[in-house]
């Protein structure tokens, strides 16, 4: 029995601190992305979290046994090098088949039990229900089985809503029918419903992950994931982050799920189905442009419309402003992913630039014109981007280029973007605030 | 016919006649000169092993510097030390370097040095091929890192998922360097695997049956089989990637309808066995160190061996657990989830057997023992977090977060690297003839273990809090700040510990010189296996004569017996039993310049593929020159080298007269010249 | 200590009874199985994609099965001549050993010639290496096999011409046997590739 030296004692204490910290892992309360603990908001995430918590306790126990045996042996069987005697040999045990079979069987049995529960949870996570809600879309009422097509591209998420009775299983996203409603970086869902996700990608592999609601699922180009789902039990905002390395701005590819009560969700759908609301003079200006005339813009909105149609519309869709100029084929000639965020209701969202900047200032509730302006001035100042053509033979780009807009053009566009609305509620603006 | 060489039997004398071997006219067969040139032409498995180790340490310093950059970037939120582009290159090159250029060659260093010694052989089966493996690996590693100077490193992560690795998404040459560099080091691994398997299966002396081999040898045998079958799979994946990038093939071109999961399957069919390739050598080292310092034989030898084999087999049936969230379908996920869970069983058996070995022993906590016990406890954490990943539903929350990062560091650092350090301290006297300083060694260990837990322990928490992997920065407000800072501090403690190890090498050597270079004797630790049964440092010819083996732990059983009460009693001292390495008449494989020349062809061809196909011509020419020279150079120049130890320059005249050897390639035979002269 | 000279061409007793060289060759071939396994898996993944970017609907539109069968037959016959070569060398019949080795190499060259001819036809019909996933997988798989056959031919020729001075006596039987092992392996792999690519219809 030799006393443990102070240095060792100190080190052991440190080790203990680390282990305790490990146990306390789930206690951090400011962690929006936490996978264990209180803020889990969907049945899937909670099932996983509580199962994982059990497993962690088993792990702590096994580790405690191994460490305990080691430390016990250390304390009791240690011989100081100076006291090492030539003839002091312990009994030479070469093994014990019974013991070894026992400790082969014990973990096997333990794991078999874990396996049974694992399979149960696995099958429940991979099943889907077919509950539908009744939703007014345009003129008609449809029974919608909540389903969202999630499409990743460098470096933002697109969410497509198809309210009709269409088959959403297509190997490639280009083969899907046109969506009724498309939005970016924020998925809005009705609360308390199971939402099926059809996850895919337009360029490289991404991974869609809202930790509070469920585990992640990769977005693989040319494939549609096996069914995956999320459900939020409470209205609220749930943060996410792309978790499959997808290139330069992987870190800045974020998303949020906003769960709304049914009536607010209905209102959101109704608003999103409309184009940009313009007053009569501006509407007439747009109509003239669409008809092929070249009227002179007379106010900021009209100048912005002209700029948008001239410099933005080849990639971005803005309904009722420039939808005549936009086609997916045309975008595919410009961008590798073949799509840019739909800007029709830009200011109804609260984040932009891949979910890393606020559209509305969470403190003041005012439009965050500064960041939008910086973005229009030079996107790379906000998000690392590739704006060079892919190669000599391929002029497509992989991000928002610097368009060289004048200050006047930027000011006009900022005002137009602010007016796209409808402005989200103050609670949403506060809860979704990033940075 | 490059592999046609003949083995050398231990115990045979040599056949000598002076020949000047000039297979291609200009390159004279190198003679042993005991200068640095020897290292370029050596075919001695021990020198090659040491070179593997030195190269791995060199790359370890590079990879470690990259790690520190990563940790500095992530120390605080919104780090700006590295641009996103550079960060992606740094973490990619860090991973690739640490796995392919540090962990694997370090294991190769131990395997090369020790496998022939532990089975009691003179050398590996194909000594020149062994040299070729090393040089190909070294040039491949240098080639890979030269990307930094030629436009930037690979930026797709070590796993390099398609289609992010195609030209469209990674237009720089970094990934070309990755694909070709790993292809080259893969060739080295494959040749080495064939060589070492043949050595272990074929070159054992009388009585050394398979189940009398030390556990270290067994684990490495399993590793070499894993390499034999895993390397060609990654080779195909790398060929396909290279062809996509350089010749416009469509294997991973999703725009042409390719399936990106092809890369994932091929990569992980290699990649999971690779994990066991990384960990089993360390298991072998621990299984050697623990019995020696516990004064007990390894508990359950056959369970240890069979669990290693079982891990090797089961390692092939779990690869898709890296793809639980890839969308491979619920049935596949369930199947791979179960297979992964049960691979924990043989691993657990190993841990418990080590604990049983320690139990009731007489434990001597030397630095080597500390590191070995460190492996047992730290690897347990890694193994347990591995079990949590095998639960597919939990893995959907954990994969690609820092929880996974924590897991594999507890496996690869806590298991593999700590095991290597145990090996360094344990075998250093055998390799270099002096002991590493134990006091510094203990500091080295405790700094290492504290730094390691500070760095990677918090990553469990970060991961469970939802911090994604491979992100170059994070925002405030997610609870990531504290633990990232702690991890960064820990990383610098690890760096200090590694620096201390390097310093220890120098200090120990100086102290040893100052003390008059005392020889540590053949057996400084009172060990059990055959490598301790010859002088330290190991003489060039390993053993003076063939050892006839009668059981497991042969050396120990020659030193100790049992009295009537079954107590252990010494029957002989190590010096009495061990060979003194004085035999000067051992015929050794001849050195050759062709391995290094041939190997140099590979990176030149690779540069050619990237920059200008014209460069492939000189590269290929060098390759062909090396091969032709190799074929026409007799593998075993009877004159070129003998087992002359530095200390023995008195030739046995009998050896010189004992018969000539007709060269079948028709070289000039000069009779009667003296053999080698000692400077 | 000074035993008899180490006979460099004499084989020491090995633990397995298989010489080191032969064991190494077996190990290499085992490893090569995985190489072809991975390439064949890749091809299987893309085997139905020939219609992408081409006018063809199925591989049978471009394959000339009788022609490829004939060249496959030639390759299989080369295994027979390889056996005859080894048996001649074992009998110390140098003349016939050389003849059969050269015949084997010749048959291999006929096969390679057939492959080159076939590739050029496919190319002319619009199936370039980059045309679609099928063509990339097809050319890579058959190309890797072609490279293996070509290396085999070099080994055969090397054995014949490299032994002009020293003779192709019985002591070279092992060398010939090793080349033979490799050659038979490459033939067997072709049987699998031929079946997978040419004989199993898609759909």
Q: What is the mean pLDDT of chain B?
A: 89
Kindly tell me if the per-residue pLDDT of B666 is higher than 80.
no
pLDDT of the residue at B673: 31
Query: How many angstroms separate the CA atoms of B550 and B228, rounded?
Result: 31
Among B148-157, B667-676, C110-119, C121-130, name the one with the lowest average pLDDT: B667-676
pLDDT of the residue at A116: 96
Kindly tell me if the per-residue pLDDT of B86 is higher than 70.
yes
**CA distance, residue B557 to nearest chain C CA (Å):** 23
Q: Which residues pair with A241 in a beta bridge?
A: A254
- Is residue B136 within 8 Å of B181, Cβ to Cβ? no
A244: chain B residues, CB-CB within 8 Å: 161, 400
Q: Which residue from A107, A48, A213, A38 is spatially nearest to B391, judged by alpha carbons?
A: A48
Query: In which residue are the tokens 């070894």 written?
Result: A100
* Both structure tokens of A225: 């994931």
Kindly tell me if the per-residue pLDDT of B640 is higher than 60.
no
Query: How many angstroms separate the CA atoms of B117 and B121, rounded?
Result: 6
pLDDT of the residue at B16: 39
Which pTM value belongs to this model? 0.92
Q: Which residues pair with A206 in a beta bridge?
A: A219
For residue B563, count CB atoms less than 10 angstroms from its CB and return exposed for 0-12, middle for 13-18, buried for 19 or more. Answer: exposed
The verdict on a CB contact (< 8 Å) between B243 and C140 is yes
Query: How many angstroms separate the CA atoms of A131 and B97, rounded?
Result: 51
C30: chain B residues, CB-CB within 8 Å: 228-229
* Both structure tokens of A206: 């991404």
> Could you list the pLDDT tens digit for every one of the 435 residues in chain A?
344 566 566 666 666 666 666 555 545 556 788 998 888 999 999 999 999 999 999 999 999 999 999 999 999 999 987 777 777 899 999 999 999 999 999 999 999 999 999 999 999 999 988 899 999 998 899 999 999 999 999 999 999 999 987 777 777 888 888 899 999 999 999 999 999 999 999 999 999 999 999 999 999 999 887 789 999 999 999 999 999 999 999 999 999 999 999 999 999 999 999 999 999 999 999 999 999 988 999 999 999 999 999 999 999 999 999 999 999 899 999 999 999 999 999 999 999 999 999 999 999 999 999 999 999 999 999 998 888 888 888 888 888 888 999 999 999 999 999 999 899 999 999 999 887
- Is residue A107 within 8 Å of B345, Cβ to Cβ? yes
Q: Select from A32, A91, A115 the Cβ nearest to the Cβ of B341.
A: A115
Q: Chain centroid to CA B126: how far? A: 18
Residue A183: cis peptide before it, omega within 30 degrees of 0: no
In sequence order, what are the residues at sequence separation of 6 or more whose Cβ sits closer than 8 angstroms to the Cβ of residue B503?
A: B440
The verdict on a CB contact (< 8 Å) between C31 and B228 is yes
Nearest CA in chain A to B354: A70
Query: In which residue are the tokens 């050195």 written?
Result: B591
Instruction: Report CA-CA distances (Å) from B151 to A290, B89, B166, B173, B608.
Output: 48, 11, 17, 7, 15
pLDDT of the residue at A5: 61
Instruction: Report CA-CA distances (Å) from A308 to A289, A293, A343, A347.
Output: 12, 16, 11, 16
- Is residue C193 within 8 Å of C41, Cβ to Cβ? no
Tally of CA atoms within 13 A in the half-sphere of B329 that contains its CB: 4
Share of chain B above pLDDT 70, in %: 89
Question: How many helices and strands (H and E) does chain B possess?
Answer: 22, 2
Please spell the DSSP secondary structure of A54-96, one letter per residue.
Answer: HHHHHHHHHHHHHHHHHHHHHHHHB--GGG--TT---------
The arithmetic mean of pLDDT across residues B633-649, rounded, is 49
- Is residue B279 within 8 Å of B416, Cβ to Cβ? yes
pLDDT of the residue at B634: 72
C20: chain B residues, CB-CB within 8 Å: 5-7, 125-126, 198, 202-203
* Both structure tokens of C83: 């056996």
Chain B interface includes A67 (CB < 8 A): yes
pLDDT single digits (tens) C40-74: 999 999 999 999 999 998 888 899 999 999 999 99
Query: How many angstroms separate the CA atoms of B234 and B265, rounded?
Result: 10
pLDDT of the residue at B652: 35
pLDDT of the residue at C121: 94
pLDDT of the residue at B1: 38
pLDDT of the residue at A395: 86
Nearest CA in chain B to C23: B198
The verdict on a CB contact (< 8 Å) between B327 and A225 is yes
The verdict on a CB contact (< 8 Å) between A203 and B171 is no
Q: Chain centroid to CA C192: how far? A: 12
Query: How many angstroms separate the CA atoms of C107 and C76, rounded?
Result: 9
Instruction: Report CA-CA distances (Å) from A404 to A325, A396, C57.
Output: 21, 18, 49
B251: chain C residues, CB-CB within 8 Å: 42, 133, 136-137, 140
pLDDT of the residue at B276: 95
pLDDT single digits (tens) C68-109: 999 999 999 999 999 999 999 999 999 999 999 999 999 999
The arithmetic mean of pLDDT across residues B579-584, rounded, is 86
The arithmetic mean of pLDDT across residues B205-227, rounded, is 96
Q: In terms of DSSP bridges, do strands A186-190 and A254-260 run parallel, antiparallel, or are they unpaired?
A: parallel
For residue B28, count CB atoms less than 10 angstroms from its CB and return exposed for 0-12, middle for 13-18, buried for 19 or more. Answer: exposed
Touch between chain C and chain B (3+ CB pairs, < 8 Å)? yes
Query: In which residue are the tokens 């593997």 written?
Result: B52
Nearest CA in chain A to B84: A248
Q: What is the mean pLDDT of chain C?
A: 91
Kindly tell me if the per-residue pLDDT of B12 is higher than 80.
no
pLDDT of the residue at A14: 63
For residue C2, count CB atoms less than 10 angstroms from its CB and return exposed for 0-12, middle for 13-18, buried for 19 or more. Answer: middle
**Secondary structure (H, E, C), B557-575:** HHHEEECCCCCEEECCCHH
Q: What is the CA radius of gyration of chain B?
A: 26
The Cβ of residue A177 has, within 10 Å, a number of other Cβ atoms equal to 12
For residue A374, count CB atoms less than 10 angstroms from its CB and return exposed for 0-12, middle for 13-18, buried for 19 or more. Answer: middle
pLDDT of the residue at B677: 29
Subunits in contact with chain C (3 or more CB pairs closer than 8 Å)? B
Kindly tell me if the per-residue pLDDT of B670 is higher than 70.
no
Please spell the DSSP secondary structure of B110-129, one letter per residue.
Answer: HHHHHHHHHHT-SS-S-HHH
- Is residue A168 within 8 Å of A157, Cβ to Cβ? no
* Both structure tokens of C50: 């020939």
Touch between chain C and chain A (3+ CB pairs, < 8 Å)? no
In sequence order, what are the residues at sequence separation of 6 or more whose Cβ sits closer than 8 angstroms to the Cβ of residue A248?
A: A154, A155, A384, A385, A386, B84, B85, B88
The arithmetic mean of pLDDT across residues B271-289, rounded, is 96
In sequence order, what are the residues at sequence separation of 6 or more whose Cβ sits closer than 8 angstroms to the Cβ of residue C65?
A: C198, C199
pLDDT single digits (tens) B87-97: 999 999 999 99
The verdict on a CB contact (< 8 Å) between B364 and A15 is no
pLDDT of the residue at B632: 81
Return residues 588-647 of B near C (CB < 8 Å): 631, 634-636, 638
Chain C interface includes B90 (CB < 8 A): no
Tally of CA atoms within 13 A in the half-sphere of B89 that contains its CB: 21
Return residues 165-204 of B near C (CB < 8 Å): 190, 193-195, 197-198, 201-204
The verdict on a CB contact (< 8 Å) between B466 and A32 is yes
pLDDT of the residue at B612: 93
Among A31-35, B264-268, C185-189, name the one with the lowest average pLDDT: A31-35
Mutation target vs A (from B327, B379, B487; most A CBs, 10 A cutoff): B327
Instruction: Report CA-CA distances (Å) from B544 to A353, B8, B530, B573, B582.
Output: 73, 13, 13, 18, 7
In sequence order, what are the residues at sequence separation of 6 or more whose Cβ sits closer than 8 angstroms to the Cβ of residue A93?
A: B296, B297, B299, B356, B360
* Both structure tokens of C43: 């091809």
The arithmetic mean of pLDDT across residues C23-35, rounded, is 97
In sequence order, what are the residues at sequence separation of 6 or more whose Cβ sits closer than 8 angstroms to the Cβ of residue A356?
A: A252, A254, A382, A383, A434, A435, B475
Subunits in contact with chain A (3 or more CB pairs closer than 8 Å)? B
For residue A344, count CB atoms less than 10 angstroms from its CB and return exposed for 0-12, middle for 13-18, buried for 19 or more. Answer: buried
The verdict on a CB contact (< 8 Å) between A25 and B475 is no
Query: How many angstroms separate the CA atoms of B637 and C92, rounded?
Result: 27
The Cβ of residue A140 has, within 10 Å, a number of other Cβ atoms equal to 9
Query: How many angstroms separate the CA atoms of A56 and A22, rounded?
Result: 10
pLDDT single digits (tens) C122-140: 999 999 999 999 999 999 9
The arithmetic mean of pLDDT across residues B109-114, rounded, is 97
Q: Which helix (H) or strand (E) holds A5?
A: none
Q: Chain centroid to CA C119: how far? A: 18
Q: Which residue from B80, B468, B457 is spatially nearest to A31, judged by alpha carbons?
A: B468
Q: Select from B1, B228, B655 the Cβ nearest to the Cβ of C27.
A: B228
Query: How many angstroms separate the CA atoms of B201 and B198, rounded?
Result: 5
Kindly tell me if the per-residue pLDDT of B22 is higher than 60.
no
Kindly tell me if the per-residue pLDDT of B291 is higher than 70.
yes
Give the CA angle between residues C79, C83, C89 to the nearest 5°.
140
pLDDT of the residue at B323: 94
- Is residue A401 within 8 Å of A379, Cβ to Cβ? yes
């Amino acid at each position: 029995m030799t006393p443990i030296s102070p240095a060792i004692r100190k080190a052991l204490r440190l080790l203990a601190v680390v282990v305790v910290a490990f146990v306390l892992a789930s206690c951090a309360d400011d962690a929006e992305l936490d996978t264990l603990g209180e803020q889990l908001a969907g049945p899937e995430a909670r099932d996983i979290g509580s199962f994982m918590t059990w497993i962690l306790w088993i792990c702590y126990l096994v580790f405690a046994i191994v460490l305990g045996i080691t430390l016990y042996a250390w304390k009791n069987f240690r011989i100081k090098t100076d006291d090492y005697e030539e003839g002091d040999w312990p009994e030479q045990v070469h093994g014990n088949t019974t013991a070894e079979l026992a400790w082969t069987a014990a973990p096997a049995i333990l794991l078999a039990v874990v396996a049974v529960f694992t399979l149960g949870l696995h099958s429940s996570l991979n099943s889907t229900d077919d509950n539908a809600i009744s939703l007014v879309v345009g003129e008609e009422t449809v029974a919608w089985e909540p389903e969202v097509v999630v499409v990743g591209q460098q470096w933002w998420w697109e969410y497509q809503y198809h309210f009709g009775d269409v088959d959403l299983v297509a190997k490639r996203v280009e083969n899907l029918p046109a969506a009724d409603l498309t939005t970016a970086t924020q998925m809005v869902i009705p609360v308390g419903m199971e939402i099926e996700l059809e996850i895919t990608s337009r360029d490289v592999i991404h991974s869609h992950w809202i930790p509070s609601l469920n585990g992640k699922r990769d977005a693989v180009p040319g494939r549609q994931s096996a069914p995956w789902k999320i459900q939020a039990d409470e209205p609220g905002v749930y943060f996410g982050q792309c978790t499959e390395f997808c290139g330069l701005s992987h870190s800045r590819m974020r998303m949020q799920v906003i769960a709304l009560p049914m009536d607010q969700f209905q209102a959101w759908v109704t608003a999103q189905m409309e184009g940009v609301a313009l007053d009569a003079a501006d509407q007439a200006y747009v109509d003239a442009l669409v008809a092929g005339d070249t009227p002179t813009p007379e106010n900021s909105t009209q100048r912005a419309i002209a700029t948008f149609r001239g410099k933005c519309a080849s990639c971005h869709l803005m309904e009722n402003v420039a939808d005549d100029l936009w086609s997916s084929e045309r975008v595919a000639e410009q961008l590798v992913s073949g799509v840019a965020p739909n800007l029709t209701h830009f200011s109804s969202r609260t984040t932009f630039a891949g979910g890393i900047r606020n559209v509305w200032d969470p403190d003041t509730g005012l439009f965050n014109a500064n960041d939008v302006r910086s973005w229009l001035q030079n996107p790379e100042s906000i998000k690392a981007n590739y704006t060079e053509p892919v190669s000599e033979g391929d002029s497509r780009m992989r991000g928002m280029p610097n368009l060289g807009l004048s200050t006047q053009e930027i000011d006009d566009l900022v005002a137009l973007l602010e007016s796209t609305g409808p402005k989200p509620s103050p609670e949403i603006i506060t809860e979704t605030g990033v940075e | 016919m490059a592999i046609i060489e003949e083995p050398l039997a231990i115990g045979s004398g040599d056949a000598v006649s002076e020949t000047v071997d000039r297979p291609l006219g200009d390159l004279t067969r190198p003679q042993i000169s005991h200068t640095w040139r020897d290292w370029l032409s050596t075919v001695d498995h021990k020198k090659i092993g040491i070179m593997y180790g030195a190269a791995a340490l060199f790359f370890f310093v590079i990879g470690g510097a990259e790690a520190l950059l990563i940790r500095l970037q992530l120390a605080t939120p919104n780090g700006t030390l590295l641009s996103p582009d550079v960060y992606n290159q740094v973490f990619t090159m860090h991973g690739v370097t640490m796995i392919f250029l540090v962990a694997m060659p370090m294991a190769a260093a131990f395997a090369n040095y020790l496998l022939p010694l532990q089975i009691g052989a003179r050398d590996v089966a194909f000594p020149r091929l062994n040299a070729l493996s090393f040089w190909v690996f070294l040039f491949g590693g240098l080639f890979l890192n030269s990307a930094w100077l030629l436009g930037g490193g690979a930026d797709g992560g070590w796993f390099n998922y398609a289609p992010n690795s195609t030209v469209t998404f990674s237009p720089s040459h970094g990934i070309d360097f990755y694909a070709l560099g790993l292809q080259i080091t893969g060739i080295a691994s494959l040749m080495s695997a064939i060589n070492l398997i043949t050595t272990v299966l074929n070159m054992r002396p009388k009585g050394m049956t398979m189940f009398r081999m030390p556990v270290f040898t067994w684990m490495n045998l399993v590793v070499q089989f894993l390499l034999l079958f895993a390397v060609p799979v990654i080779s195909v994946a790398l060929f396909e990637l290279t062809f996509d990038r350089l010749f416009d093939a469509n294997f991973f071109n999703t725009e042409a309808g390719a399936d990106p999961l092809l890369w994932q399957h091929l990569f992980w069919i290699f990649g999971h066995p690779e994990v066991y390739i990384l960990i089993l050598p360390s298991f072998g080292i621990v299984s050697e160190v623990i019995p020696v310092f516990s004064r007990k034989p390894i508990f359950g030898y056959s369970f240890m061996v069979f669990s290693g084999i079982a891990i090797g087999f089961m390692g092939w049936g779990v690869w898709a657990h890296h793809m639980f969230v890839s969308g491979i379908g619920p049935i596949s996920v369930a199947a791979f989830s179960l297979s992964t869970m049960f691979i924990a069983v043989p691993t657990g058996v190993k841990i418990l057997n080590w604990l049983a070995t320690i139990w009731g022993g007489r434990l001597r906590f030397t630095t080597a023992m500390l590191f070995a016990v460190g492996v047992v406890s730290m690897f347990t954490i890694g193994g347990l977090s591995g079990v949590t990943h095998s639960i597919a539903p939990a893995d959907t929350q954990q994969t690609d977060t820092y929880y996974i990062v924590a897991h594999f560091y507890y496996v690869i650092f806590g298991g593999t690297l700590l095991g290597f350090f145990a090996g360094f301290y344990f075998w250093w006297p055998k390799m270099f003839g002096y002991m590493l300083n134990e006091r510094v060694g203990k500091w080295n260990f405790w700094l290492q273990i504290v730094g390691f837990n500070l760095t990677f322990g918090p990553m469990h928490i970060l991961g469970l809090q939802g911090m994604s992997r491979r992100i170059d920065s994070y925002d405030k407000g997610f609870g990531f700040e504290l633990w990232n800072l702690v991890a960064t501090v820990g990383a610098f403690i690890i760096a200090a510990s590694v620096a201390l190890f390097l310093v220890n090498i120098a200090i120990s050597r100086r102290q040893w010189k100052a003390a008059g270079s005392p020889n540590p004797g053949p057996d400084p630790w009172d060990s059990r296996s055959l490598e301790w049964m010859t002088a330290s440092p190991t003489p060039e010819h390993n053993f003076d004569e063939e050892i006839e083996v009668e059981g497991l732990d042969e050396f120990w059983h020659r030193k100790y017996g049992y009295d009537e009460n079954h107590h252990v009693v010494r029957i002989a001292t190590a010096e009495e039993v061990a060979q003194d390495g004085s035999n000067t008449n051992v015929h050794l494989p001849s050195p050759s310049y062709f391995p290094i020349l041939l190997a140099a062809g590979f990176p030149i061809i690779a540069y050619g593929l990237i920059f200008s196909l014209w460069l492939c011509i000189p590269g290929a020419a060098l390759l062909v020159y090396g091969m032709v020279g190799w074929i026409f150079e007799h593998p075993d120049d009877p004159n070129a080298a003998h087992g002359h130890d530095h200390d023995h320059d008195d030739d046995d005249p009998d050896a010189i007269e004992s018969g000539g050897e007709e060269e079948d390639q028709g070289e000039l035979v000069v009779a009667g010249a003296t053999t080698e002269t000692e400077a | 200590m000074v035993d008899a000279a180490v006979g460099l061409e004499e084989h020491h007793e090995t633990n397995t009874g298989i010489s080191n060289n032969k064991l190494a060759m077996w190990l290499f071939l085992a490893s090569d199985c995985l190489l072809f396994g991975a390439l064949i898996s890749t091809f299987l993944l893309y085997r139905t994609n020939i219609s992408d970017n081409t006018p063809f609907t199925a591989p049978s539109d471009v394959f000339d099965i009788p022609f490829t069968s004939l060249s496959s037959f030639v390759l299989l016959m080369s295994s027979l001549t390889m056996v005859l070569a080894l048996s001649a060398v074992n009998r110390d019949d140098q003349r016939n050993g050389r003849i059969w080795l050269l015949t084997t190499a010749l048959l291999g060259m006929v096969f390679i010639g057939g492959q080159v001819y076939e590739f050029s036809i496919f190319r002319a019909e619009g199936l370039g290496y980059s045309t679609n996933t099928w063509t990339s997988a097809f050319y890579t798989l058959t190309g890797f096999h072609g490279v293996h056959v070509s290396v085999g031919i070099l080994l055969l020729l090397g054995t014949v011409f490299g032994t002009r001075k020293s003779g192709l006596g019985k002591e070279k039987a092992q060398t010939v046997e090793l080349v033979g092992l490799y050659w038979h392996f490459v033939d067997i792999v072709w049987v699998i590739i031929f079946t997978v690519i040419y004989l199993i219809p898609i759909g």
